[in-house]
Structure 1
Amino acid sequence: MKKIFLLLLLLTTGCSDALLEKPKSLASEIFYNTDAEVKAAVNAIYGPMRADNALSINYPAQLEGLADYGDSRGSQMAVSLYQGLDNTNINRVGVIWDNFYQSIRNANLVIANVPKATAISEANKAAFLGEAKFLRSLLYFALVRNWNGVPLRTEANMTIYDVARSSVAEVYELILSDALAAEASLPDTPAEIGRPSKWAAKTLLSEIYLYQENYKASAAKAKEVIDSGKYALVEVSQSEDFQKIYGPEVVNTAEEIFYFKYSRQQGFGLVSYAHRKTAQYNYYGPGGVYAQYTDSTTNSVIKNWSGKDLRKAHILYNVDIGLGKSSCLYRKFRDPAATNYGAGNDYPWYRYADLLLFHAEAEARSNQTPTEAALESLNKVHRRAYGYPSNTVSAVDLKRTDYNLTSFIDKVVEERGYETMYEGKRWLDLKRLGIAKQRILEVKKIVVADKHMLWPIPSSEILYNKLLTAENQNPGY
């Protein structure tokens, strides 16, 4: 079952190379003509963005080193010093940029050519275009949050290399336009496991609206997903039950809205950004890096985390890797049978838990008070964390009378920090909320340098894009 998406991934990599390296060798009027040909072109979008040196290792690793609940070590130590990236990590974020833009280029090829296809139905054209626009929206959303304004490369200018940086507002205009188009044309049910549906597009829109502080729209999109009845939290009664969500053999769950699918096969696996094989434990096959870690006594986020929360025991385990007996490693994505660069765990870009917490925050903000609906969305995630049925009133329920708007948002932020730990989402949340510097100072006693709030534009862009010079670089680099 886990191999269902493997054929898609095989097609992805093969087509990606062709589309990126020799685009002029393709007769586009022929190649984009049938369902099979268009599907292969759409598959090619996934290749660069989920590759070993992009999403499956560099992207989440860079973001996890910035979170308030943990630190990076070794060659990634500079990430957690918050004074700007060193050359090694500048190169790593440069790889993310390059790979994301390669996927954007592949999406642009689909968007430009599919409307001209003659041997494919209009319904299928719409679905393929929706998928391409969903992925392009997702990618630009990642880029703008980490770099601010970036060059906008679309089907209209994809043959032009020299493209100036657009403003943040202009980037969001494209992100929103693509996400709305995807919502309108994606199918109700994914064509295959691992592909987006219109509900994934609505979830993306809910988060986009959160960033734009359009809380009413964010809450409305989230509620559409909730009311659809398409998704549910996976119920747990003990910490190891969370493996039913994150385990390497899991194919799909009721909680999955949009995931990047991986396999143990070489080149198609989730590359763990903190290998976990030690003399005492074997949570990951190859093992030995320990790039991200935390401490159960010195980090207040971890220290104050209730031991009754089943997520804590599932995610963290104490092991002395030379940093003391209270140091902890992460085991959320564990695969003892993993090969080198080949873990079978999938990467959860959007889970139903994400959507519920989007709704809790947006619903409360749009009403200027924690409503019963906002509280119920938060309580569903909270109940499940403590082993109670998520849809039933429980002994651990949070009570509306205990919160005003500010304290309720703080609680949502805390819950999301625990729920998405080690998924590369925490730092982006802290930045959106405007509390990143405050949290790092409170928890780690470090003053974050302004330059550390954004990633540097890579030299590959500065050197070859004539409309981007060193003067256009993000501050401090």
Structure 2
Amino acid sequence: MKKLYIKLSLILIVSLPSCKKAVEVDPISTITSASFWKTENDAKGALDGMYVELRGPASLDLFLLGEARSETMSSATAGTLGYDRYYLNSLNTSAAGPSWFSFYRTINAANLLLKYVPDLAFSSPAIKNSFLAQAFTMRAYVYFALVRSWGGVPIRTTPTEGYDPATIQLPRSTKEAVFKLIKDDLDKALGLYTNNTFETGRNKWSKAAAYALKAEVYLWTGKQLNGGAGDFNMALSAINEIQTADVQLLSNYNDIFRYTNKGNKEVLMASRFQLLEGGHNYFQNMYVSTLSNVSQTTRDIVGALGVGNTGNSIIQLSTLVRDQFSIDDQRRDGTFFEIRDNANKFVTSITTKGSGVVDAGVRHFRNDVILYRYADVLLMKAEAKNALSLDPSPEINFVRQRAYGSKFSSYTYVNGTKAQNDDAILKERLLELSAEGKRWWDLVRFGKAFDLVPSLQSKKGQDYLLLFPIGTALRSLEPLVTENPGWQ
């Protein structure tokens, strides 16, 4: 761990601008790109640093961008701390939500690798190609998050290594240009991965994870950029490649998220969080701290979950969503738990799938943030098949069979019309993936945000709301960046 922090520090120093007037440093102690990028171990440190940078967006911002504006969230017991602006869809240019700076730091880490790794000597070509493939995949993933959230964004394909306004202040590119870069990067990455295996922990990009990203990208462009059947076929082909890898549905839904079961065979890619490292992830906001006046039955269960520790209880799964889970569905208990008082009156709910680990009597929210897992992929396959007028019921039922177990026969899905199938797939994604940072982007992709999000149902036709505002704070630092139309 100490070695990782040292390497990361060097990488950050390399990418920071110098300020000669403020601090005079003897040249012999100066670390520059030219002096750092010498060996395979240097590149390994930079690669590790890229994944550390991903933890910034993964700890909260990916959830705020990808889910918080959907119908899944509501206020909990400790006030809103501004989170209500998301699920009430009352963002504005002064309170615009996350900025994109942490995302561009991750992109910059990838760009550094893509610039310097090709000229380094490696112990084997396969290792060098793997480093480059991971960097291309990371850049594609981050740009995919950006373009879905803000539309066209500045495209940076070279690292920022100084402070030249002409270099670092860029205007927005079109969303079409961003998607072209994403697809090109994925093609390059998939041509560089040498096999379809996973590294231990499944917390680094792999060929299978890159194919999952490719499938989601092409589903998006097929629906949102009129890519049509060609894009849906690309998504389907990518998913078929994933199914040749070492992936499976775990029989127990809870086991996917257990702190002690990180990197299990359902996971394709996750951002790693560890007990001895600083910082919680966003699940802390969906958990309670100290409670009083709760029933003994609830206290017995909740006590086992470690209540009375570090949860914030700012947001919870909404009643609208909780009520859609059948009591027969193991995903219900695997997703949330309802806390009731001595009169059996509902108090709040906690999200169980990200409940972390208790150490020395304190709960730490250090579950990995899963970016792709196999159930998600199966439901993407159902979505692609339905878009191509193929029967999506096998994939829907495969996911349901795990969820309902011995009672599955009562929940078997039968192929319907294309609209009925889309509704079934979208609901299945809700039940399977709630609180995993997917729902808002699912609703936008399916064209259902104004139908299913209560705070948007009276705003149909105001399509600008599907993007986030850039915001005055960010634009004050990026003078060439224009605001999204409708948010001015």
Which category of TM-score, normalised to the shorter sequence, fits these structures?
0.7 to 0.9
- Whole-Å separation in 2 of the counterparts to 1:330 and 1:472: 35
Q: Which residue of 1 aligns with 2:118?
A: 115
CA separation of 1:223 and 1:11: change in aligned 2, threshold 3 A: farther
Q: Which residue of 2 aligns with 1:206?
A: 215
- Whole-Å separation in 2 of the counterparts to 1:430 and 1:261: 27
From 245, 270, 274, the counterpart of 2:256: 245
Mapped pair 1:417 → 2:430: yes
Mapped pair 1:456 → 2:464: no
Q: Which residue of 2 aligns with 1:3?
A: none
- The DSSP-based 3-state class of the residue aligned with 2:168 is coil
Q: Which amino acid aligns with 2:428?
A: E
- Identity within the alignment, %: 24
Give runs of aligned pairs for residues 191-230 of structure 1, distance below 5 A: 191-193=199-201, 194-213=203-222, 214-226=231-243, 228-230=244-246
Deviation, 1:85, is 4.2
- Whole-Å separation in 2 of the counterparts to 1:364 and 1:7: 50
Q: Which amino acid aligns with 1:309?
A: D
Mapped pair 1:382 → 2:400: yes
Deviation, 1:158, is 7.0
Give runs of aligned pairs for residues 218-367 of structure 1, distance below 5 A: 218-226=235-243, 228-236=244-252, 242-267=253-278, 269-271=280-282, 272-279=284-291, 280=299, 281-282=302-303, 283=305, 286-296=309-319, 299=320, 301-319=321-339, 325=346, 327-337=348-358, 342-366=364-388
Q: Which amino acid aligns with 2:186?
A: A
Deviation, 1:133, is 0.8
Contact 1:130 1:182 in 2 (8 A): yes
Deviation, 1:13, is 4.7
Greater Cα shift, 250-259 or 166-175: 250-259
Contact 2:137 2:189 in 1 (8 A): yes
- Whole-Å separation in 1 of the counterparts to 2:103 and 2:381: 28
CA separation of 1:269 and 1:16: change in aligned 2, threshold 3 A: farther
- Whole-Å separation in 2 of the counterparts to 1:7 and 1:397: 51
Give runs of aligned pairs for residues 389-468 of structure 1, distance below 5 A: 395-396=409-410, 398-400=412-414, 402-441=415-454, 447=459, 450=463, 452-459=465-472, 461-468=474-481
- Whole-Å separation in 2 of the counterparts to 1:8 and 1:433: 45
CA separation of 1:350 and 1:462: change in aligned 2, threshold 3 A: same
Give runs of aligned pairs for residues 158-197 of structure 1, distance below 5 A: 160-188=167-195, 189-193=197-201, 194-197=203-206
- Whole-Å separation in 1 of the counterparts to 2:33 and 2:245: 40
CA separation of 1:7 and 1:177: change in aligned 2, threshold 3 A: farther
Q: Which residue of 2 aligns with 1:239?
A: none
Contact 2:259 2:366 in 1 (8 A): yes
- Whole-Å separation in 1 of the counterparts to 2:187 and 2:198: 17
Q: How does the TM-score come out when normalised to structure 2?
A: 0.82
Deviation, 1:31, is 2.4
Contact 1:105 1:158 in 2 (8 A): no
Tell me the C-alpha RMSD between the 2 structures. 2.9
Greater Cα shift, 403-412 or 337-346: 337-346
- Whole-Å separation in 1 of the counterparts to 2:168 and 2:154: 10
Alignment deviations for residues 427-476 of structure 1 (CA, whole Å, 9 cap, x no partner) = 100011111011114x88654765542222254642233422xx444532
- The DSSP-based 3-state class of the residue aligned with 2:370 is strand
Contact 1:269 1:344 in 2 (8 A): yes
- The DSSP-based 3-state class of the residue aligned with 1:249 is helix
Q: Which amino acid aligns with 2:281?
A: L
Alignment deviations for residues 54-79 of structure 1 (CA, whole Å, 9 cap, x no partner) = 32124314544322133245121121
| Alignment coverage as a number of residue pairs | 443
Q: Which amino acid aligns with 1:360?
A: A
Gaps of 5+ in 1: 1-5, 237-241
Greater Cα shift, 255-264 or 283-292: 283-292
Q: Which amino acid aligns with 1:365?
A: A
In our comparison, the structure showing a higher alpha carbon Rg is: 2
CA separation of 1:444 and 1:138: change in aligned 2, threshold 3 A: closer
Q: Which amino acid aligns with 2:237?
A: A
Greater Cα shift, 264-273 or 406-415: 264-273
From 34, 38, 48, the counterpart of 2:43: 38
